[in-house]
Amino acid sequence: MILTSVLTTGALTLTACGSRDDSGDKGGDSGSGTTLTIGVDAPLSGENSTTGLGIQYGAQIAIDDANKNNWVPGVKFKLKALDDKAQPATGQSNATSIVGDKTAVGAVGPLNSGVAQTMQQVFASANMVQISPANTNPELTQGKNWQTDKKRPYKTYFRTATTDELQGSFAAGYAYNGLKKKKAFVVDDKQTYGAGLAKIFAEQFKKFGGKVVATDHVNTGDKDFGSLATKIKNSGADLVYYGGQYDESALITKQLKDAGAKIPLFGGDGMFASTYIEAAGKSSEGDLATAIGVPADTLPAAKTFIQTYKDKGYKGDYGAYGAYAYDATTAIIKAVKAAADANGGKVPTDINDLRSKVVDGVQKSDFEGLTGKISFDQYGDTTNKQLTVYQVEKGAWKDVETGTADLK
């Protein structure tokens, strides 16, 4: 990897291999002033790219709005999108590239909690803010012993997504009380996100009164789930809960139905993508997934965002995390403005000083975003705890339940 620094408009910009430089709409201060970069890290190709691209373009629309409407006078924002391919090592390398850019003031992403674990220390060492619109593993904000002794590992890490503690419990409560399911077969993909979510669902489902008849694990990238389908069919389960992404779950539900087990597959937000339905076809009918927040298309503030996304023909799926990426990016931009306002209307010229002030500014966030109120608690977690259950009906995800988790 070759890093090249170029002097432009009094600021350094970074060019790195594996990056996507989307300038977006021209607007705001285009002729002079300061150029600041916001990094985005997500899987932009390969597995999970449908939702990863939704993150990239959600952030891009926020940057375009900031430039067009001159949110921070004298500043033009630029997006640097990096593809982590859902690989932790690549995410860590991308984080190093972002902090090495002396115009970078913050980062949005990643999608995968396992990738985030390799990035957090890099951003913390540079005192640069990182806001994920998608990570849900509780350890990222509350530490390894979050169930008994919550301690925030990194003050630079935030998220606009709620945690799996709430998502797993919300799913368990709906499975038991809403679907009236009593016997669950729980499967996970051994990854940080999937295994953690499946564990929480199993614990909470049993507390609600359900029975976990068996558990099993798969590997990401697997294609043949015939033996797993047979196990599930013979277990007597009336529901399969899967912790993982849509790539494997689409194949699992198809092979499960082909084996004659006519029971629904229920998963988390990693499964909530149009690609899941496209890949599984008719076998996905009746399957369910939880997702953070409320449906984007029901939020008045998100209507313009959704229309812009469609009009520009952006790839990927905005439905899962696009609006949350927009709000995460906006939080960084508003923190830059707060730093400028406190400095006589001028952005601090020392990048380390600016990064530090942006971290502080994000912690103090308090504004109405596309997805609702944007603010963070003492752990860096969003204060927005709403979740939604979606079910596949006639080839499309339909919201069937919205609320907050009932922790047992």
Count of CB atoms within 10 A of residue 223's CB? 8
pLDDT of residue 131: 98
Phi, psi of 216, deg, nearest 5? -155, 170
- The residue type of 10 is G
d(CA 263, CA 335): 48
Question: Which of 313, 301, 173, 186 lies closest to 237, judged by CA?
Answer: 186
Tens place of pLDDT per residue across the chain (408 aa): 333 333 233 333 332 333 444 544 433 333 358 999 999 999 999 988 999 999 999 999 999 999 999 999 999 999 999 999 999 999 999 999 999 999 999 999 999 999 999 999 999 999 999 999 999 999 999 999 998 999 999 999 999 999 999 999 999 999 999 999 999 999 999 999 999 999 999 999 999 999 999 999 999 999 999 999 999 999 999 999 999 999 999 999 999 999 999 999 999 999 999 999 999 999 999 999 999 888 888 888 899 999 999 999 999 999 889 999 999 999 999 999 999 999 999 999 999 999 999 999 999 999 999 999 999 999 999 999 999 999 999 999 999 999 988 777
Question: Which of 308, 312, 317 lies closest to 390, judged by CA?
Answer: 317
CA distances from 73 to 37, 233, 319 (A): 15, 62, 31
- The residue type of 241 is Y
Helix or strand (DSSP H, E) at 397: strand 396-403
Q: Are 365 and 337 in contact (CB under 8 A)?
A: no
Q: Are 37 and 15 in contact (CB under 8 A)?
A: no
pLDDT of residue 77: 98
CA distances from 161 to 70, 101, 375, 387 (A): 27, 27, 11, 10
Mention every residue, 6+ apart, whose C-beta is less than 8 A from residue 304: none
CA 365 from centroid of its chain's CA atoms:
19
77, 334, 139, 42 alpha-carbon torsion, rounded to 10°: -20
